[in-house]
């Protein structure tokens, strides 16, 4: 008795200690980079290859950022792929109403893409919180609905943009990096700070970790559970904007399977499906790891049909490592 | 070496992230005896029984069963060696019925691979008869009372042909009659040659049911004694390592003011609370006594906006308030400590600062961002105030003992600066030392003018702390006691319906 284990000075010391087991995502990432550099020498490390790789992962990566928050809050979203195509299509549709003024058209395109996707995210969130429908089921439903509506609007054909300037957004390059990559990184940093350093971010973790405790801690469950869906709607809007302007066109079957890539990036990035904890920057690493694996397989000339199998394998390994860690 | 030693624990040690929680503990369990295992929170009791049951793996030392060294890697191995545990938090599946739970993992199968439900029902029925309970094997677990669930857990252990059964604080949620039934059962098991480990905080129960008692303190085995040779006082002293003079601080009725700070008028909650009217005075410690299920927790949760009342009015400082959710309650200077610490009170996977500031997080926002330095500073202040023991602030709460978790929970509520504090079973599953610290703290709060409601099933807690007591029975307020009338007999008369107001 009387032995006081707690000592505030210890705290600083603990911070500096680097625990290998806590950084499995980063270690996996570094191993993969080294492996890819050796196997893909010298093509993998070429600047052009890396930039292409980053651009490729940005579209699903941006969506995965929002998905990270949903999964931390204890939710799930299957509808993001359909949402991307739907929002992108509606944005081009709206923009084409303003053919006379190119600048105004682009502004409308950006605004509609972001706000419409945010609205779709809000619908998902309301179904889960007010409708009390399990996230998996609610978003399975909206996944079908959003996809069906865009196919109907597009009359099963392409929705092509008549605006000549719109395409500059998605294919633009700033300081050597494509615009989608900038969006990906900036949003990631922003959301990581949101998660770590704001009240709402902490409450999202609290709700995901234990809803009952959150309720007894006077946290407004419905509001906090809704926010990640709305944020995901917004990130989907960003992705839809970049994707549709890159091609200056949307095909109603675009972006199917994005939900799985996004969830894979979250899981590989070290955020457990059980909720409560997780990292947005981890998801960035997860998305890039998925890209590297695809890239390696392409460089090695492996059939593209096998790429999905490789992805599946990585997801399973990532979860196995996490499970070990928890135990 | 004693010939009838069933289990031998040989210099077992265990470390969690470099914190030693068990240090070289050697202990043996004899055939047909009930060994009491006592110690404060964090003394290492739970860790020790979890090692025996294969949930934790020891950092050093080994175990022997009937003279043979065994390696208990997981709870499955423990089960096959005849070791079972009746845990504090039951491991039953609420949606399955009684016999399915009893046979969970031990199912009897027909030759075609399907379950032999007829046989299982028959065996389960016999077993429950032997235990002298009248639970039906078809009943769903969710329909059972706590005591009945415990009986099912015991049956689960027996079906497994256990040689060793560990009871982890089995009596915390039982009424005194149910405890008597449990003890009868334990005596029967002893006669049948089963060895039992009885982990408890209630020393008089250890005295009543155990042959020997092992006392742990700070991860060390202090002594093993024949229960006949020691008294409760001695056990308590050995646990704490110093003399305890008294647990409860002096009651001070003079601190109670005239003004009522909280008044509840005719509160109703479907079938749980019926026309309950209570009032709490400034600086008062008010007790809500009654049997488990009398509606005390429900009443408190209605006040806090955690449940939606059917009717009733709440007045704070004689002003009528509407409390639709807990946030409004907090804004009205109310705070509530739930009886379910781990399920409702604290986030086990989060660290101390995150838990401490969970309700009051708004205070720490500066320019939209959280002031983490301030959060840490405040949390370590609470660590000092409550004398909380943790290796570091960064410890997840699941690594803290029950008493220390409770202290963090108290800090979490205190950080909202409440004027009215409702404590629901504030010392459940907590050792004497932490208990007395918490009582002391409650008394200090009263001195500072805070008004406190204590809900407790432990009569001595109600009697030792409260200036005034309401007794609830079946959702109704059926008695109000003050002064000398606050005693065990009076409370029980009202709680059981012998006396009505």
pLDDT tens-digit profile, chain B (501 residues): 456 889 999 999 988 766 778 889 999 999 999 999 988 766 888 889 999 999 899 998 989 998 889 998 888 888 889 998 888 777 888 888 898 888 887 888 888 888 888 888 998 988 888 777 778 888 888 888 777 888 888 888 888 888 999 998 888 777 777 788 889 889 988 998 999 999 987 788 899 999 999 999 888 899 999 999 988 878 877 887 765 556 788 888 888 888 999 999 999 998 889 999 999 999 999 999 987 778 899 999 999 999 999 999 999 999 999 999 999 999 999 999 999 898 899 999 999 999 999 999 999 999 999 999 999 999 999 999 999 988 889 989 988 888 899 999 999 999 999 999 999 999 887 777 888 899 999 999 999 999 999 999 878 889 889 999 999 988 899 999 998 899 888 887 888 777 777
- The C-alpha of B53 sits at a distance from chain A's nearest C-alpha, in angstroms, of 16
* pLDDT score, position B76: 85
Task: Confirm whether the ipTM is greater than 0.90.
Answer: no
The number of beta carbons lying within 10 Å of the beta carbon of residue B122 is: 14
Residues of chain B numbered 320-339 and touching chain A (CB < 8 Å): 325-327, 329-330, 336, 338
* C-alpha triplet B224, B230, B231: angle, nearest 5°: 130
Q: How many CB pairs under 8 A join A and B?
A: 93
Over 50: is that where the pLDDT of A11 sits? no
* pLDDT score, position B460: 81
Parallel, antiparallel or unpaired: strands B34-39 and B195-199 = parallel
- Nearest alpha carbon to residue B258 among B289, B277, B236, B281: B281
Superfamily of domain B5-240 in CATH is P-loop containing nucleotide triphosphate hydrolases (3.40.50.300)
- Nearest alpha carbon to residue A211 among A275, A286, A139: A275
Q: What is the mean pLDDT of residues A57-66?
A: 96
Q: What is the mean pLDDT of residues A52-69?
A: 96
* pLDDT score, position A18: 54
The number of beta carbons lying within 10 Å of the beta carbon of residue A30 is: 12
Over 50: is that where the pLDDT of A16 sits? no
- Nearest alpha carbon to residue B418 among B354, B355, B345, B329: B329
Q: Quickly state the pLDDT bin for A5 (edges 50, 70, 90).
A: very low
Residue A281 and residue A286: Cα distance in Å, rounded?
9
CA dihedral A179→A180→A186→A189, nearest 10 degrees, is -160
Q: B350 at the A interface (CB within 8 A)?
A: yes
- Nearest alpha carbon to residue A265 among A25, A50, A5, A14: A25
Parallel, antiparallel or unpaired: strands B468-473 and B451-455 = unpaired
CB contact under 8 A, B359 and A218: yes
Superfamily of domain B253-496 in CATH is P-loop containing nucleotide triphosphate hydrolases (3.40.50.300)
Nearest to A6 among B345, B369, B383 (CB): B383
Tell me the domain boundaries of chain B.
5-240, 253-496
Nearest to A5 among B365, B389, B412 (CB): B389
Nearest to B347 among A5, A193, A210 (CB): A210
- The C-alpha of B177 sits at a distance from chain A's nearest C-alpha, in angstroms, of 32
* pLDDT score, position B436: 87
Q: Kindly state the greatest CA–CA separation across chain B.
A: 75
Fold of the CATH domain A42-319: ABC transporter involved in vitamin B12 uptake, BtuC (1.10.3470)
Percent of chain B predicted with pLDDT > 70: 97
Task: Please list every residue in chain B whose beta carbon sits closer than 8 Å to the beta carbon of residue A1.
Answer: 217-218, 240-242, 433
Is the pLDDT higher at A176 or at A99? A176
Q: How many residues does chain A have?
A: 327
Q: What is the pLDDT of residues A282-298, one digit of tens each?
A: 999 999 999 998 888 88
């Amino acid at each position: 008795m009387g032995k006081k284990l707690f000592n505030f000075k210890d705290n600083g010391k603990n911070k500096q200690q680097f625990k290998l087991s806590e950084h499995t995502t980063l270690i996996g990432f570094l191993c993969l980079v080294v492996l890819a550099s050796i196997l893909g020498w010298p093509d993998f490390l070429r600047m052009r290859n890396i930039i292409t790789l980053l651009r490729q992962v940005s579209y699903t990566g941006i969506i995965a950022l929002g998905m990270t928050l949903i999964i931390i809050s204890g939710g799930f979203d299957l509808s993001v792929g359909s949402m991307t195509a739907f929002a992108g299509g509606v944005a081009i549709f709206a923009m084409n109403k303003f053919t006379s003024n190119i600048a105004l058209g682009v502004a409308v395109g950006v605004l509609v893409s972001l706000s419409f996707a945010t609205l779709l995210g809000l619908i998902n969130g309301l179904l889960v919180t007010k409708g009390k429908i399990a996230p998996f089921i609610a978003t399975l439903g909206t996944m079908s609905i959003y996809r069906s509506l865009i196919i109907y609007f597009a009359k099963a054909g392409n929705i092509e943009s008549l605006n000549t300037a719109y395409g500059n957004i998605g294919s633009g390059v700033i300081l050597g990096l494509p615009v989608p990559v900038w969006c990906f990184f900036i949003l990631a940093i922003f959301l990581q700070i949101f998660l770590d350093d704001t009240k709402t971010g902490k409450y999202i973790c609290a709700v995901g970790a234990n809803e009952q405790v959150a309720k007894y801690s006077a946290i407004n469950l419905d509001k906090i559970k809704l926010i990640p869906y709305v944020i995901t709607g917004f990130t989907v809007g960003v992705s839809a904007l970049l994707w549709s302007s890159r091609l200056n066109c949307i095909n109603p079957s675009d972006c199917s399977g994005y939900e799985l890539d996004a969830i894979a990036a979250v899981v590989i990035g070290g955020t457990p499906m059980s909720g409560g904890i997780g990292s947005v920057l981890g998801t960035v690493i997860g998305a890039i790891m998925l890209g590297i694996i695809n890239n390696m397989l392409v460089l090695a000339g492996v059939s593209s049909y096998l790429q999905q199998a490789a992805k599946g394998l990585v997801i399973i390994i990532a979860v196995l490592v996490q499970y070990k860690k928890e135990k | 070496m004693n010939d009838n030693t069933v289990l031998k624990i040989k210099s077992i040690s265990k470390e969690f992230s470099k914190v030693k929680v068990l240090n070289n503990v050697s202990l043996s369990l004899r055939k047909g005896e009930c060994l009491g295992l006592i110690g404060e929170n964090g003394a290492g009791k739970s860790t020790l029984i979890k090692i025996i049951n294969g949930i934790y793996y020891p950092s050093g030392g080994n175990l022997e069963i009937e003279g043979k060294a065994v390696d208990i890697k997981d709870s499955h191995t423990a089960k096959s060696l005849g070791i079972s545990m009746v845990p504090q938090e039951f491991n039953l599946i609420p949606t399955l019925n009684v016999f399915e739970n009893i046979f969970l993992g031990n199912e009897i199968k027909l030759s075609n691979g399907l379950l032999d439900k007829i046989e299982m029902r028959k065996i389960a029925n016999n077993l429950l008869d032997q235990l002298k309970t009248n639970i039906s094997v078809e009943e769903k677990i969710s329909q059972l009372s706590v005591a009945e669930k415990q009986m099912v857990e015991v049956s689960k252990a027996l079906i497994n042909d256990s040689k060793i059964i560990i009871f982890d604080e089995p009596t915390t949620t039982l009424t005194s009659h149910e405890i008597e039934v449990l003890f009868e059962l334990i005596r029967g098991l002893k006669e049948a040659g089963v060895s039992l480990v009885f982990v408890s905080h209630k020393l008089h129960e250890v005295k009543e049911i155990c042959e020997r008692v092992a006392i742990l303190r700070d991860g060390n085995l202090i002594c093993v004694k024949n229960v006949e040779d020691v008294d409760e006082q001695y056990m308590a002293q050995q646990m704490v390592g110093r003399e305890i003079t008294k647990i409860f601080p002096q009651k001070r009725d003079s601190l109670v003011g005239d003004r009522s700070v909280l008044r509840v008028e005719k509160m109703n909650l479907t079938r749980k609370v019926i026309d309950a009217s209570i009032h709490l005075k400034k600086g008062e410690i008010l007790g809500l006594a009654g049997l488990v299920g009398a509606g005390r927790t429900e009443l408190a949760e209605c006040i806090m906006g955690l449940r939606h009342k059917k009717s009733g009015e709440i007045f704070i400082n004689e002003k009528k308030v509407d409390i639709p959710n807990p946030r409004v309650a907090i804004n009205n200077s109310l705070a509530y400590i739930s009886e379910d610490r781990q399920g409702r009170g604290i986030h086990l996977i989060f660290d101390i600062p995150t838990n401490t500031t969970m309700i009051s997080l708004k205070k720490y926002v500066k320019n939209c961002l959280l002031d983490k330095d301030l959060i840490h500073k405040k949390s370590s202040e609470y660590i000092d105030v409550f004398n909380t023991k943790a290796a570091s602030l960064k410890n997840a709460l699941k690594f803290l003992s029950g008493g220390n978790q409770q202290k963090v929970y108290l800090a979490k509520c205190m950080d909202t600066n409440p004027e009215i504090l409702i404590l629901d079973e504030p010392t459940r599953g907590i050792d004497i030392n932490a208990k007395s610290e918490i009582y002391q703290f409650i008394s200090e709060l009263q001195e500072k003018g805070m008004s406190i409601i204590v809900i407790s099933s432990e009569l001595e807690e109600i009697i030792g702390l409260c200036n005034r007591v309401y007794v609830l029975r079946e959702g109704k307020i059926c008695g109000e006691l003050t002064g000398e009338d606050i005693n065990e007999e009076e409370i029980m008369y009202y709680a059981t319906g012998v006396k009505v107001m």
